[in-house]
Amino acid sequence: MRSLAAFSLTYVAAMLLSEHGYGALAVPSPFWLPDSVLLCALLLSPTRRWWIFVAAVWPIRWLTGAVPGTPAWFVLLSLANDTVKAIGAAAILRRLLGERIRLETLNEFFLFLGIAGAAVPLLSALGAAPARMALGDAVWPATYRWFLGDAVAQVIVTPMALYWWFSRGALDRRRELFVMLVVLAGTTFYAFVVPHEPHPLSLMYLPIPILVWAAVRLRPVGTASALTVVAVVGMIGAARGIGPFGADAIQQSTLTLQLFLLMSGVSLLSLAILIMERETFRQREAAFNNRLLDAQDHERARIAQELHDDIGQRMALLQIGLQRFRAATGLSAANQRQIDGFADSAAQISSGLRSLSHRLHPAVLDIVGLDLAMTSLCREFSDRHPVKVRYRSNNLPRHVDDGVNLCIYRVAQEALHNVVKHSGVDTAAVELSCVDGHLVLSVSDPGVGFHVDGVEDRSGLGLIGMRQRLRALGGNLTIQSAPGGGTHVQVEVPFQPEADSAIDSGAGV
DSSP secondary structure letters along 30-92: SS-HHHHHHHHHHHTS-GGGHHHHHHHHHHHHHHH--STT--HHHHHHHHHHHHHHHHHHHHH
pLDDT greater at residue 114 or residue 470? 114
pLDDT greater at residue 9 or residue 257? 9
pLDDT in tens, 304-317: 666 666 677 777 77
Q: How far apart are CA 31 and CA 157, in angstroms?
A: 9
Q: What is the pLDDT, as a whole number, of residue 54?
A: 93
The reply to whether omega before 28 is within 30° of 0 (cis) is: no
Residue 298 — very low, low, confident or very high, per pLDDT cuts 50/70/90? low
Q: What is the pLDDT, as a whole number, of residue 500?
A: 46
Contact status, residue 136 vs residue 24, Cβ threshold 8 Å: no
Most confident of 37-51, 222-236, 351-365, 468-482: 37-51
Q: How far apart are CA 106 and CA 280, in angstroms?
A: 13
- One DSSP character per residue, 386-441 reads S-EEEEEEES-BS---HHHHHHHHHHHHHHHHHIIIII--SEEEEEEEEETTEEEE
Q: How far apart are CA 412 and CA 442, in angstroms?
A: 8
User: Is 501 a residue whose pLDDT tops 50?
Assistant: no
**Assigned CATH topology for domain 368-508:** Heat Shock Protein 90 (3.30.565)
Closest CA to 244 of 229, 228, 230, 265: 230
Contact status, residue 142 vs residue 133, Cβ threshold 8 Å: yes
Per the rule left: phi > 0, alpha: psi between -120 and 50, beta: everything else, 243 is left
Contact status, residue 506 vs residue 394, Cβ threshold 8 Å: yes
Lowest mean pLDDT among 152-156, 255-259, 391-395: 255-259
pLDDT greater at residue 148 or residue 237? 148
Residue 224 — very low, low, confident or very high, per pLDDT cuts 50/70/90? very high
Long-range CB contact pairs, 419-425, < 8 A, 24+: 419/387, 419/389, 419/443, 419/445, 419/447, 419/487, 420/381, 420/385, 420/387, 421/460, 422/447, 422/448, 422/450, 422/460, 422/461, 423/387, 423/447, 423/448, 423/486, 423/487, 424/448, 425/387
Q: What is the pLDDT, as a whole number, of residue 202?
A: 80
Mean pLDDT of 172-180: 86
Mean pLDDT of 73-101: 92
Q: At what angle do helices 106-114 and 72-97 cross, to 10 degrees?
A: 150
Q: Which residues make beta-bridge pairs with 394?
A: 433
Contact status, residue 96 vs residue 115, Cβ threshold 8 Å: yes
Backbone φ and ψ of 508, nearest 5°: -160, 155
DSSP label of 503: P
Closest CA to 360 of 415, 307, 293, 430: 307
477 in helix, strand or coil? strand
Q: What is the pLDDT, as a whole number, of residue 195?
A: 83
Residue 55 — very low, low, confident or very high, per pLDDT cuts 50/70/90? very high
Q: What is the pLDDT, as a whole number, of residue 166?
A: 86
Residue 325 — very low, low, confident or very high, per pLDDT cuts 50/70/90? confident
Q: How far apart are CA 56 and CA 62, in angstroms?
A: 11
Q: What is the mean pLDDT of the chain?
A: 82
Domain ranges for the chain:
1-166, 368-508
Q: What is the pLDDT, as a whole number, of residue 462?
A: 64
User: Is 504 a residue whose pLDDT tops 60?
Assistant: no
- β pairing state of 427-435 and 388-394: parallel
| Single-letter code of the amino acid located at 208 | I
Per the rule left: phi > 0, alpha: psi between -120 and 50, beta: everything else, 255 is alpha
User: Is 249 a residue whose pLDDT tops 60?
Assistant: no
To which H or E segment does residue 488 belong? strand 487-494
- One DSSP character per residue, 117-145 reads IIIHHHHHHHHHHHHHHHTT--HHHHHHH
pLDDT in tens, 362-412: 666 767 788 888 998 898 889 888 899 999 998 888 777 777 888 888 889
Contact status, residue 150 vs residue 32, Cβ threshold 8 Å: yes
Q: What is the pLDDT, as a whole number, of residue 247?
A: 59
Q: What is the pTM of this model?
A: 0.65
- Could you give the angle at the alpha carbon of 239 between the alpha carbons of 237 and 243, nearest 5°? 30
Residue 446 — very low, low, confident or very high, per pLDDT cuts 50/70/90? very high
